[in-house]
Amino acid sequence: MKWRRGLCAAGLAVVIGVTGAARPAHAAESGRRAPDMQAQVFGFDWVGAAILVAGLAVGGGGGGGGLDAAVQEIKAAVDQAKNDIIAHTDAIAAAEVKACVRANTIEFTNINSLPPPVLILWAQSATSCATLASAYLQAMDSKPSIDELGFVLGPIYAIAVSARAKAGLVNGLDILRQEQIRGYEAVAAKLVAECTHRWEKDDNPRYIYPVYITCTVYPGKVGEQTVLKGWPPGRPEPPISYTIANQRADELSSRSIANDALPRLRAGAWP
């Protein structure tokens, strides 16, 4: 019968909606973002690494083997992710940000060989690039550009923090943290998905129908879920939760990165 076929198809859709085609089921069930390249920002915790470098720089008076090792870890991550960082940057509409991010990503590979006067100048340049990125995020309206810049905001600030730490310019590190917060706040606020749902009713005698939920950040970044809900005739429409579809939309954009980074950055001034 038609309603039985509809229920079978809806049941299959529910399974597909829970597991996803390109993400493991536990990613949606646990509430944590899926382990794809973008959501993990190239597989490295840029915010945590920058916090560590800043803490070592301030707490150790701007030097020490621990600081060198922490900066080296960021350098190795930049070396590995350099092409991906540049690829995301190339999709940004803002030419000034694109140019400085590309230049600093390339130059960072030479951080250990720069003489002190050059290192200081370059650290100031990296700082300007980071604050410029946050300023553009606050001013931009293009969601795709905001999304791409949000993906590389972590590396941008990790480079700037490392450069300042190596150059001994520790006094501005906490201001840099505050600027990164402003950048991620813009990402979180501007990449909120818009959610809708659609019922597919048929001749099901139990009045249980599939409901298709869609949360769209912008075209191409869409979180979806299908659920079965009962809606008997003459009754008001039951509430539909957008939570899972909205979470999936966040996982596809840099908003998930911003939401993960903000509590850690807001935790307080770098020691």
268 three-state secondary structure: coil
- Give burial (CB, 10 Å; 0-12/13-18/19+) of 251: buried
How far is 256 from 271, CA to CA, in rounded Å? 26
Is residue 85 within 8 Å of 105, Cβ to Cβ? Answer: yes
Amino acid residing at 153: L
Contact (CB, 8 A) for 156 and 107: no
What pLDDT shows up at residue 42?
Answer: 65
Reported for 25-30, long-range contacts at CB under 8 A and 24+ positions apart, including other chains, are 27/251, 28/244, 28/247, 28/248
d(CA 74, CA 162): 8
Measured CA to CA, the distance from residue 212 to residue 196 in angstroms comes to: 8
In tens digits, the chain (271 residues) has pLDDT values of: 443 344 444 343 333 333 333 333 323 333 333 334 443 446 899 999 999 999 999 886 555 689 999 999 999 999 999 999 999 988 887 889 999 999 999 999 999 999 999 999 999 999 999 999 999 999 999 999 999 999 999 999 999 999 999 999 999 999 999 999 999 999 999 999 999 999 999 888 899 999 999 999 999 999 999 999 999 999 999 999 999 999 999 999 999 999 999 999 999 766 5
Q: How far apart are the first and last CA of the chain?
A: 68
What does the pLDDT look like over 10-50, one tens digit per residue? 343 333 333 333 333 323 333 333 334 443 446 899 999 99
Q: What is the pLDDT of residue 61?
A: 52
pTM score: 0.81
Partnered with residue 209 across adjacent β-strands are: 229
Q: Where are the domains of the chain?
A: 2-32+192-251, 46-190
Q: Are the beta carbons of 242 and 196 closer than 8 angstroms?
A: no
Query: For residue 62, what are the contacts with CB-CB under 8 A and spacing of at least 6?
Result: 165, 168, 170
Residue carrying structure tokens 């301030």: 58
